[in-house]
Structure 1
Amino acid sequence: MAISSAGLLRKIITTKEATALVVIRGFAAGGAKAKKGGKGGSTADSPSVSALSKEIKSSTVIGANIFKDSSDPKILSDSEYPEWLWHLLDKRPPLSELRRKSIETLPYEDLKRFVKLDNRSRIKDNNTLKVKS
């Protein structure tokens, strides 16, 4: 769209044509229509309240289907999911906190994280030194 509109702008010679182009160009659908009911009111085009039952909402993951010919996946019991899934949102310590601790006492996962973050920090420092010189 940007390339085609840039081509159109090159063809415009006078400012009169440019103002005509600006006047003709509108916004997204429904932008020029006045809303009914004022602020926060419903419009005629707004979707109606969801007709799904509470049972379907509580037993399926609505909107998670990525296939055309399939239905939304069902919610399983907690025991049917892998153990690592429940630890994805656990807070992990930042580099500053890992540097304060003794390396010998860190668990393996924290040690891996420390090495990764420390390498990343050193690379950033070296890159800023190269830019300055």
Structure 2
Amino acid sequence: MLSFKLDTKDMSCRRLMRSFIIPNKATLLVAIRGFAAGGKAKKGSKGGDAPKAAGLSKEVKSTTVYGANILKEGGDPKILPDAEYPDWLWHLLDKRPPLSELRRKDSETLPFEDLKRFVKLDNRARIKDNNAGRAKS
């Protein structure tokens, strides 16, 4: 039999889990599993094992994407010249017209990408209207 010292957060989580009709022992395991081990963090610590960025030279900061490595092995990726990246990347943050503006334009003169966007947004709006109408009935 395991025994744990429970604080108020664990108890409230257990009460919440009981409302889902989970056996008491399973509730205890789920409630304990949801919280980090080790208790309170030390004052002034930010947590994590990541090295501090302040220790890097300016040259390393300007040539690598610091902290972008998500794998255990390997290093952070290097920043490449703009010509090395694909053209579509530079248009990801461009403003696209909203549905109201697309409705005002003539569909025959819209570029293909805007026409696809118009059809998608119009279908989404019709579905929302139909769902709202059914909910009221």
Name the CA distance, whole Å, in 2 between partners of 1:69 and 1:49: 19
Name the CA distance, whole Å, in 2 between partners of 1:50 and 1:101: 52
Distance 1:48 1:103, change over 3 A: closer
> Which ranges of structure 2 fall in alignment gaps of 5 or more residues?
1-5, 19-38
Name the CA distance, whole Å, in 2 between partners of 1:57 and 1:87: 25
Summarize the alignment of residues 31-70 of structure 1 with structure 2, pairs less than 5 Å apart: 45=45, 50-70=54-74
Percent identity of equivalent pairs: 65
- If the length of structure 2 is used for normalisation, what is the TM-score? 0.66
- Which one of 36, 41, 45 corresponds to residue 29 of structure 1? 41
Distance 1:67 1:49, change over 3 A: closer
- If the length of structure 1 is used for normalisation, what is the TM-score? 0.68
* Rg comparison, structure with higher value: 1
Name the CA distance, whole Å, in 1 between partners of 2:111 and 2:96: 12
> Which ranges of structure 1 fall in alignment gaps of 5 or more residues?
11-26, 34-42
- Which one of 90, 108, 111 corresponds to residue 94 of structure 2? 90
- Which one of 85, 92, 109 corresponds to residue 105 of structure 1? 109
1:99-123 C-alpha deviation (Å, 9 max, x unpaired): 0000001000000000000000000
- Superposition CA RMSD, Å: 2.9
Name the CA distance, whole Å, in 1 between partners of 2:76 and 2:66: 6
